[in-house]
Structure 1
């Protein structure tokens, strides 16, 4: 009997000592189950091929986040089906903040409008984390192409409907949809040729296999500066800082203009404190001069916002792109 009491007292003393020690160190009960985030590497899934705008933006961000958070942040390119395959896969990923989606509006809000079954719900399957950047987009041509601007292109295309081809990064991509919108707005007919990524499309325009393409500036700016591609018009609503002398398409076709965006999302159910921390880290990164300079070098600009603001943007753009798809008759066939 006395031995039993002694054991109980020892157990109580050990437990009390552990509690006092934990309190002294500021460690909450169950700390082992609540490790500080992040406690291991983070993966940024990019649903497009390497070499495009989203890839360039993700890599700039990954480098800075790794430095800020003290953990490796890696980019994993998973292209296919206009970005919908990887996006659908991410929707089913573990919702712990370690596997995140860095995506373009094309994959997130255009894909669901184009595909009968995109495999994900852009609103219900994801937690909006933060906007990241907007990118410059341009209509480019091989230097030998006879048109020097959008007005001359329209004249050529109207004289020979379907004669000229336009390359895109693939069916359902933003490049594809912008090309369809251009044809609709200008009343012209071009032959769409989808590629597996922006880089492949740009390479074939440089090589003269295809005369035209809509490209993000990260994909095309090196070719433009080298004189291997010429800009017929800027897709964005305003002229872009990287090409201040290049006119917008809207200067010829009134009302035409897009502001492509890129953002970070997490699988639905990711804890709110993790989402809040990630948003704060992205905002901090976008304030860093090195990040701003690197984005500017490829024709992009920081685009800051809260999870709520990003969620509202997604909902608004889903409606807008559904209308665009219907009006243009764009398909992924």
Structure 2
């Protein structure tokens, strides 16, 4: 009797397995890990995304901030999660393009340990100065070339996108000899710009815009292809310094653990594309200073991330002593 019951249990499990495998996704809440603390630009976009993704999928998408180690802690947690589509990562340029470049011993491999779902855009960078500084980016850079002691600029930290993008801009403007001052976040650097103790700061456009509009700081350039409609008086870095194609965006992308089933990725990608194509969603993001990407595919997102990594590799190699100092 015991043997017969065991055989029946095995048979029942075999019959149930296809039903489980074919269960419609998603059938329960999804966890979206944000690898940075609450309140920053990544957190803002992640909450826009999670709210709309929940509507598209018909299941709650719960955000969870897991900051630390430059985004590595939250990223690793998702890389090691079960590949079933119920644990996702809201990654960034910092975690998936710059981290493998600036970290001597990376704790994860961007390609091997993650499956890309979608690249969804983010906050373009903007450079701001105290109102007493030169009125244009070209004039500021010209003054910086001969300033003694050298002018300083602040970023949220060594190896961040803000740091590396500024180094790229300095290089393109003729290797301007400015001194980098790393801060513990963008806000402290902006405070010193406002106080006039720091010559230049760099932040996302959305964070810098209120300072510019309020007259507490002047935005000299934005790293977008065209001027932003919310600040038409601010030129792009490309036009201000004659650097065709210069762009720098704190972009965001959604990742899943490796070996996530293709149907799950297709469902997530399709839902993301619906929201990226929606004018109301894009308008809401624009109000927060976020520029959404056009709809795409996991393959196009992976290609974009690989290209961004290679774009910053030369400047990282050039400032390697500072990164490892």
TM-score (norm 1): 0.83
Q: Is it true that 1:314 corresponds to 2:305 in the alignment?
A: yes
Cross-structure match for 1:293: 283
CA contact (8 A) 2:133 2:199 kept: no
- 1-structure distance, mates of 2:87, 2:188: 27
CA contact (8 A) 2:156 2:182 kept: yes
Higher alpha-carbon deviation: 294-303 or 88-97? 88-97
**Residue-by-residue CA offset, 1:3-59 (whole Å, 9 max, x unaligned):** x9xxx9xxx9xxxxx9xxxxxxxx976435654322333222223343433222211
CA contact (8 A) 1:129 1:264 kept: yes
CA contact (8 A) 1:92 1:267 kept: yes
CA contact (8 A) 1:51 1:219 kept: no
Q: 2:145 aligns with which of 144, 149, 158?
A: 158
CA contact (8 A) 2:88 2:254 kept: yes
Once the 2 structures are TM-superposed, how far is the Cα of residue 283 of structure 1 from its aligned partner? 0.9
Q: 1:305 aligns with which of 281, 287, 296?
A: 296
- 1-structure distance, mates of 2:290, 2:76: 26
- 2-structure distance, mates of 1:266, 1:81: 20
Q: Is it true that 1:210 corresponds to 2:198 in the alignment?
A: yes
CA RMSD of aligned residues (A): 3.0
CA contact (8 A) 1:139 1:233 kept: yes
**Residue-by-residue CA offset, 1:262-286 (whole Å, 9 max, x unaligned):** 2111111111111111111111122
Report the 3-state secondary structure (helix = DSSP H, G, I; strand = E; otherwise coil) of the residue aligned with 2:232. coil
- 2-structure distance, mates of 1:69, 1:250: 40
Segments of structure 1 that go 5 or more residues without pairing to the other structure are: 13-17, 19-26
**Residue-by-residue CA offset, 1:240-273 (whole Å, 9 max, x unaligned):** 2332221122223333612423211111111111
Higher alpha-carbon deviation: 112-121 or 186-195? 186-195
CA contact (8 A) 1:46 1:58 kept: yes
Q: 1:148 aligns with which of 126, 129, 135?
A: 135
Cross-structure match for 2:172: 185
CA 1:183–1:312: 2 relative to 1, 3 Å: same
CA 1:47–1:213: 2 relative to 1, 3 Å: farther
Cross-structure match for 2:116: 128
Q: Is it true that 1:52 corresponds to 2:43 in the alignment?
A: no
- 1-structure distance, mates of 2:201, 2:67: 19
Cross-structure match for 1:279: 269
CA contact (8 A) 1:169 1:176 kept: yes
CA 1:182–1:259: 2 relative to 1, 3 Å: closer
- 2-structure distance, mates of 1:332, 1:44: 32
CA contact (8 A) 1:107 1:173 kept: no
Report the 3-state secondary structure (helix = DSSP H, G, I; strand = E; otherwise coil) of the residue aligned with 2:46. helix
Cross-structure match for 1:169: 156
Higher alpha-carbon deviation: 222-231 or 83-92? 83-92
Cross-structure match for 1:229: 217
Aligned residues: 314
Higher alpha-carbon deviation: 308-317 or 39-48? 39-48
- 1-structure distance, mates of 2:42, 2:84: 23
Larger Rg: 1
Report the 3-state secondary structure (helix = DSSP H, G, I; strand = E; otherwise coil) of the residue aligned with 2:323. coil
CA contact (8 A) 1:87 1:108 kept: no
CA 1:33–1:252: 2 relative to 1, 3 Å: closer
Report the 3-state secondary structure (helix = DSSP H, G, I; strand = E; otherwise coil) of the residue aligned with 1:131. strand
Segments of structure 2 that go 5 or more residues without pairing to the other structure are: none
Cross-structure match for 2:247: 258
CA contact (8 A) 1:45 1:100 kept: yes
CA contact (8 A) 2:221 2:240 kept: no
